[in-house]
Amino acid sequence: MDKVIAVIPALNPLNSLIPFVEEVLQMDFEKVIIINDGSDRKYQQVFSELKQIKDCIVIEHPQNFGKGKALKTGFHYVLKYFPYTKGIITMGAYCQHKTTDVSLILHKAKVFSNGIILGVRNFKSKDIPISKYFGNQAASLLFQLLFHKRILDTQTGLRYIPKQELYWLIKVPGNSFSFDTNMLVEAIKRKVPIYEIPIGHLQYKKNSIIQYDEITNMNKVIQQLILLYSKNKS
């Protein structure tokens, strides 16, 4: 099949996820797979409504395992039940990504279908704390220094992944946000092409709770990069 499947890890999502999924399904997606990663009981109504949407599949984790584990659960499901799909696009459950950006990555998947596509967010906005901008720059430069490839946005959750790459991705270590970086490092080792597509400004709202933080604490990202480099060298 030529169509793509959306994979969305979700922990305690807001009601806004429901119209977002409905808009995504109006695009050229075969299915939307949502992994409920052990959300609190008060969010069950959101998942109940999602289950009523045609072509939306909800997979339940009995407890919170982390974003990386949720993504790998989705990858396993795609390989088992949709082996002929073209690929998948991962995206956030908290309206971090505009549907126009999702549509752009979906369109680019038709052109760069042989590799991983990253939706690179624009950190240059008056709404973004300057520390986040410089933190992202530092993580990008360190990634280049350690792994010899410049990646402008190592933590973006909006990614296209060809189906054939899922077979090794489900074996990549990391059950938390570290999986996002580990994925890129393993792709470089395997010489999988990585394409970077500029999307809109980073969606950032002060005092908002995003369970899978793609803005992320860059100190933790930098620590994780150094640890990952050490493991690869040993």
Q: Which are the contacts of 189, defined by CB distance < 8 A and separation ≥ 6?
A: 232
Q: What is the pLDDT of residue 207?
A: 45
The tens-digit pLDDT sequence of the chain (234 residues) is 578 999 999 999 989 999 999 999 999 899 999 999 999 999 999 999 999 999 999 999 999 999 999 999 999 999 999 999 999 999 999 888 889 999 999 999 999 999 999 998 876 766 666 666 666 677 778 888 888 898 988 888 999 999 999 999 999 998 888 899 899 999 999 999 999 999 875 555 554 555 555 545 566 666 777 776 677 765
Q: What is the pLDDT of residue 155?
A: 85
- Kindly calculate the radius of gyration of the chain based on its CA atoms and give it in whole angstroms: 17
**The dihedral formed by the CA atoms of 34, 9, 86 and 143, expressed in degrees to the nearest 10:** 180
Q: How many CB atoms lie within 10 A of CB 191?
A: 7
CATH number of 4-233: 3.90.550.10
SS3 sequence of 104-170: HHHHHCCCCCCCEEEEEEECCCCCCCHHHHHHHHHHHHHHHHHHCCCCCCCCCCCEEEEHHHHHHHC
Strands 56-61 and 159-162: unpaired
Say if CB 203 and CB 108 are below 8 A apart: no
Taking the model in full, what pTM does it have? Answer: 0.88
Give residue limits of the domains in the chain: 4-233
